[in-house]
Structure 1
């Protein structure tokens, strides 16, 4: 078995990304995207950031991340990112590898910090992962996310200086 590699995403990766993107959004626990997005609409959202990468193992896409500036103009020195991991690859460190890659890459690109705008408070695995990578919760918007399982829950804003 080969080591998983992180590389830029291509158009040919979209069917693999879309398969887990669609499931994750439909779960209603981690992303505020509409559940009824067409493949083209979902692709426009995911590929709408400056950089999109995949973590691939033996030709299979296990996860993806998109990243770039959080805000335009005077806020473009702070990056942001989003991550999705295929259910079949959860618990294998895919999210951590993608997170470490994005932190390092944004630092290389000259960003001064990274801000996650909407980490669902009940997504404890993500909160634990980001805190483990040096992010801190700088605020929580109460009840800003409608979780299918938990009802209205908070959205954390998380930040890490680079």
Structure 2
């Protein structure tokens, strides 16, 4: 389910940039070639793990992946209130973390206000989940790509380098 969710989030973001009737040109294709290569790499690693598990009857080991493309790249510094205007862009934003909730596959942190009035949700995945639990009540700077999740801005945090505690 986590792999499915990961693919869904990425494809939703890519499709959101295409207008009905728009022709996908070489510029668009080249822009997302690194994402395509990353997805193929992950699929290969995961398939190998599943095959090893099937043929050796052993659990699939956890695989640590590098941060997604653009995730730790500092972007344009924007105000928390304006994030909905930066969907699909890599930004840096600062704000207070009001609440944190562990939902198993990820830890969600709400900036700007507590849920459901948050201005930004941070989705901490992988090794960064433990970091999320230390942020409640603190002011932090986050760098990452803004995506839309059910009409609200969200940044997926997969590297501690994306987070700076003030």
Q: How high is the TM-score relative to the length of structure 2?
A: 0.27
Greater strand fraction, Structure 1 or Structure 2 = 1
Q: How high is the TM-score relative to the length of structure 1?
A: 0.28
Q: State which structure, 1 or 2, has the greater radius of gyration over its C-alpha atoms.
A: 2
